[in-house]
Amino acid sequence: MTDMLQKSVTETETAPSPRLQRSIGVVGGTLLTLSCVTPASTLFVVVPDLFGSLGTATALTIAIGSLICIAVAFCYSELGTLVPSAGGEYAMVSTMAGRLAGWLVFVLSLLVVVIVPPVIAMGTADYLEPVVHLDPSTTGAGVMLLATLAGLLDLRANAWITGVFLVLEVIAAAVVAVLGFAHAERGPGSLVSMRVAGADGHPDTVTAMLVVSGLAIALFVTQGFSTAVYLSEELQDPRRSVARTVLATLAISTVIILVPVAAITLGAGDLAELTGGDIGSMVTAWSNSAVGTFVSLCVALAIVNAGIVMVIQNSRVLFASARDKAWPEPVNRLFSRLGRFGSPWVSTLAVGVPGALLCFVSLDTLYGVTGVSVTGMYLLVAVAALLARRGSHRHTAAWRMPLWPALPVLLIAVLAYVLSRQETDYLLWTGGITAAATLYWALYLRPRPGTRWLVTIPEDARDARDAGASTLP
């Protein structure tokens, strides 16, 4: 009986790893990635909070964050073509910087992928207000459950669904931009000013330190461009398409978000209206209630779209962690199970249902922990990029970033400084979760180096790497 049990365990541990299907090209991957950035829902849900704290400095802060993200995108592009795995950041960092560093970035990415969807989903009720009054938390939970059901479908079908929704949200952002510029109340110089409405109604000056602290959320604004590396196992010819998708998505999403932010800053009637961040009311004031309702409904659909794509992305991360033996074997078997449509259905449920529950947690806490987690994750990715050209990796055919190693070094310094300026409570929350994960590593994963946390590159990706790959011009 003991021999039979041992044989069963051995067969389970050495069974062929389940593979995702390469079913989408650059266009489908770009649609999914742009939808994960979800420019319009980010513009209408996340940016208003920045207006509340940064006022006219919001556009400048997002622009600075976007410049930082260019260096981040270079790191993702190089690492994503070296290590095309659904594990995303953790697979890349584990391969370059070691198993512990990979585990820590996995924990941070898991925090991000679990928290971000409900943050966006809770904004749905605000933009359905012209039609029906709903509770934000309950509505957000409903959106998360709907997104989870959609995430169980075939990835190709989801690419088309999210593509249609993406068109609607781009239209909404364009309408806001046109109306804002057409009703400008102040000149372009206000885009680089540092003014916000004070509690007494008089203008206050935004400090440089406040702008730096806001950079963590500004980085989160365009964060979804990294989705391309999560989809790298399902992208055809990942050595070409990953880098193209990452860089193009960052450029497009920055334009879609930053141009309307500039228009809103110029078109707001006064600082109090800008700080209030009620973009729907501004649109109605610039046009009429019908246009305001149209924009609001487009945003509501964009949020549903974002939820679908984020659940798809997040389930792939959990699927990959199970395939790489991050958990006890019964859990690994569950999370790596593929459904009828080729999607990891248990992993999809495992990220979607908790996301629905998080809709009942304070938004401020979710924003703070997400900002710290994204900054820390980017920091570890930059460290991995700094190590990406040592040993055998130096000769591996892959897309290579310009200005290496200066860009990763500069990025590490900037992100470390941004991290040091975040609120203590959010640092403690994120640090506590990371400490607990480190304890799990020390007690369970580290003592089992041959059977647990076996970060791998899919076989077809290894073959493509060995055969050589094309690079971007």
State the Cα–Cα distance between residues 25 and 235, nearest whole angstrom: 6
Q: What is the pLDDT of residue 183?
A: 92
The residue whose two tokens read 């996301």 is 355
Closest CA relative to residue 303, chosen from 28, 6, 27, 38: 38
CB 78 within 8 A of CB 59: no
State the Cα–Cα distance between residues 333 and 221, nearest whole angstrom: 35
Query: What letter represents residue 28's amino acid?
Result: G
Q: What is the pLDDT of residue 61?
A: 92
Q: How far is CA 42 from the centre of its chain?
A: 11
Which DSSP symbol is given to 16? P
CB 336 within 8 A of CB 324: no
State the Cα–Cα distance between residues 197 and 274, nearest whole angstrom: 8
State the Cα–Cα distance between residues 5 and 8, nearest whole angstrom: 5
Provide the token pair at 77.
Answer: 């592009």
The number of C-alpha atoms within 13 Å of 380 and in the hemisphere containing its C-beta is: 27
State the Cα–Cα distance between residues 426 and 110, nearest whole angstrom: 16
Q: How far is CA 174 from the centre of its chain?
A: 23
Q: What is the pLDDT of residue 2?
A: 38
| Sequence-ordered list of residues with C-beta below 8 angstroms from that of 282, at least 6 positions apart, any chain | 180, 264, 267, 268, 269, 273
CB 128 within 8 A of CB 41: no
Helices (H), 183-237: 208-221, 227-230
Closest CA relative to residue 116, chosen from 261, 249, 217: 217
CB 36 within 8 A of CB 227: yes
Q: What is the pLDDT of residue 265?
A: 92
| Sequence-ordered list of residues with C-beta below 8 angstroms from that of 29, at least 6 positions apart, any chain | 159, 228, 231, 234, 235, 241, 245
pTM above 0.85, yes or no: no
Block means of pLDDT (10 residues each) for the chain, 473 residues, are 39 48 66 73 84 89 92 90 78 89 90 84 81 87 87 62 75 92 89 77 79 85 77 70 83 90 92 86 88 84 78 80 89 84 81 90 86 92 91 80 91 92 91 94 92 73 43 34
Q: What is the pLDDT of residue 212?
A: 87
According to DSSP, the residues that pair with 197 across neighbouring strands are: 203
Question: What are the chain's domains?
Answer: 24-394+401-453 (1.20.1740.10)
Closest CA relative to residue 190, chosen from 261, 283, 255: 261
Residue 437: how many other CB atoms lie within 10 Å: 18
Query: What letter represents residue 347's amino acid?
Result: S
Which DSSP symbol is given to 235? B
